[in-house]
A and B are shown apart, each in its own frame.
Chain A
Amino acid sequence: DVKVTQSSRYLVKRTGEKVFLECVQDMDHENMFWYRQDPGLGLRLIYFSYDVKMKEKGDIPEGYSVSREKKERFSLILESASTNQTSMYLCASIGAGVRNQPQHFGDGTRLSIL
């Protein structure tokens, strides 16, 4: 069974801090994704990666960066956290080209920026 693990369920940080959200998957998936979830807005794609060291911007990349040094790990970085980045963050992964298969999600990180 696919396991996607996010490093923290809850995280509280201060404005201006550099914040790292980590995601690890154990199924050798090529594709990994970071989403942000806000009430009334659904899930919005921040960044995704289709291979090691490869990344593409999603719909709302501003204020975020990502890192994928190893296939199993995809990190989301808030360079200088702001209060409007308080949100639920979800990581997902899927193998390449398996179009009828779902993305597998981690349990989410509820991030609060004070």
Chain B
Amino acid sequence: AQKITQTQPGMFVQEKEAVTLDCTYDTSDQSYGLFWYKQPSSGEMIFLIYQGSYDEQNATEGRYSLNFQKARKSANLVISASQLGDSAMYFCAMRVYNTDKLIFGTGTRLQVFP
């Protein structure tokens, strides 16, 4: 069965520091995609970054990077130089093979303090 696991219900980080949010996944498929979303307290889901299973390079988008370790089935999100506005829920998700459906993890609440 396909599954996403986020083991950190909450994380704290000081402003300007880097933080890693963990995500492990379980699938027997060879072709899959991994996504990270940010959800501020206002509720909207904001897409951050995507990693395809065949991508050889780790994805990066500005201050966000994805530490993709295929053999370990992990896709951790790294946020560099944290800002107060990064305080939010973060969800890892996996696309179900040959469909457009996503499976989500339970999320990690990140709080950035001054």
Is A88 an interface position by the 8 A CB rule? yes
| Residues on the A chain within 8 Å of B47, using CB | 102-104
Q: Which of A72-114 contact B (CB under 8 A)?
A: 88, 90, 92, 94, 96-108, 110
Is A52 an interface position by the 8 A CB rule? no
The answer to whether A42 touches B91 (Cβ under 8 A) is yes
- Measured between C-beta atoms, what is the minimum distance from A52 to chain B in Å? 16
Known contacts: A105-B44, A107-B42, A107-B44. The answer to whether A99 contacts B101 by CB under 8 A is no
- Measured between C-beta atoms, what is the minimum distance from A57 to chain B in Å? 11
| Residues on the A chain within 8 Å of B95, using CB | 99
| Residues on the A chain within 8 Å of B4, using CB | 42
The answer to whether B35 touches A42 (Cβ under 8 A) is no
Task: Mark the stretch among B13-21, B72-80, B104-112 that contacts chain A.
Answer: B104-112
The answer to whether A100 touches B50 (Cβ under 8 A) is yes
Q: Which of B1-44 contact A (CB under 8 A)?
A: 4, 6, 9, 33, 35, 37, 42-44
Is B56 an interface position by the 8 A CB rule? no
- Measured between C-beta atoms, what is the minimum distance from B92 to chain A in Å? 9
User: Could you tell me how many residues of chain A have their Cβ less than 8 Å away from some Cβ of chain B?
Assistant: 31
Known contacts: A105-B45, A107-B44. The answer to whether A45 contacts B33 by CB under 8 A is no
User: Could you tell me how many residues of chain B have their Cβ less than 8 Å away from some Cβ of chain A?
Assistant: 23
7 A-B pairs with least C-beta separation: A105-B45, A102-B47, A108-B43, A43-B104, A42-B106, A42-B104, A31-B100
Interface residues of B (CB under 8 A from A): 4, 6, 9, 33, 35, 37, 42-45, 47, 50, 52, 91, 93, 95, 100-102, 104-107
A-B contact pairs, 30 of them (CB 8 A): A33-B102, A41-B106, A42-B6, A42-B91, A42-B104, A42-B105, A43-B102, A43-B104, A45-B101, A45-B102, A48-B101, A50-B100, A96-B100, A99-B100, A100-B33, A100-B50, A100-B52, A101-B50, A102-B35, A102-B37, A102-B47, A102-B50, A103-B102, A105-B44, A106-B44, A107-B42, A107-B43, A108-B43, A108-B45, A110-B43
